[in-house]
Amino acid sequence: MLLVIDAGNTQTVVGLYDSGDRSHQLLDHWRLATNAERTSDELLLLLRQLLETRDLDIRSDIKGVAVSSGVPSITFELRRMCERYLDIEPVVLGTGVKTGMPVLYENPREVGADRIANAVGAYDLFGGPTIVVDFGTATTFDVISDKGEYMGGAIVPGIEISMDALFGRAAALRRVELVAPRSVIGRTTVESIQSGAVYGYSSLVDGMCDRIEEVIGEATIVATGGLAGLIAPVTTSIEHEEPWLTLHGLRLIWEKNQ
């Protein structure tokens, strides 16, 4: 079995694959709150409990681990866990790891590991040119050429970050549930905030994708990330929703490095 782990600033997503199955079927997945203070021992216990729900043992059943991480402390502890308890050298997406995708950034080391995993996964599924919109801590736009090159993209503050800033700076506004309101015209303060968050961000996505397509031509547009299911349905540009795109890309990269 193969464990793929995408450690973001807010959430960590864990996926389980059969390492010998070329169909790339995701057997199970778990979404956890990211805690940068967890040690390798705590990570082992947590992952062991998750695998026990599938009647699997982390020591005997896991043959490979692939990691993309935007949190250096978690990257370090995951490496330590694999080496100390699993006797596995994990594939940690970064410098020196084969991805099969040229990176056209001026400094390729600046590109987040999850963005590369998304690009690899999207190109495998849809070819190019492709735009990946990832709704995470930040909302990122990643552009893949028709030749399978990572061209670059754009980064804007994520929806939840923006909402936190709004509530933190506006004393008269309170936190609301992040769902689509009855109408784009809010009839209450709660609905007005929800309209701004949902329809405002959907318009941002549509506008950015239009501008990117003016440069690269017509592209396949794919959404992923924790809030993709909320925003993608109310956009006009997003064609596909792939909630586990990063995990798919990580598995492909793991295979290239065996």
CA–CA separation, 62 and 170 (whole Å): 48
Nearest to 1 by CA among 50, 89, 65, 92: 65
Secondary element (H or E) of residue 253: helix 245-256
Between CA 9 and CA 185 the distance in angstroms is 33
Of 6, 114, 134, 142, the active-site residue reads 114
Q: What is the distance between the alpha carbons of residues 152 and 107, in angstroms, rounded to a whole number?
A: 11
Question: Tokens 């399978």 label which residue?
Answer: 148
For the chain, how are helix, strand and coil distributed in percent, rounded to 5?
40, 20, 35
- Residue 55 annotated among the catalytic residues of the structure: no
Question: CA 215, 98, 9: angle at the middle one, nearest 5?
Answer: 70
Name the phi and psi angles at 27, rounded to 5.
Answer: -80, -35
Q: How many whole angstroms from its chain centre is CA 240?
A: 15
Beta bridge partners of 65: 3
Whole-number Å distance between alpha carbons of 44 and 257: 24
Residues assigned a catalytic role: 114
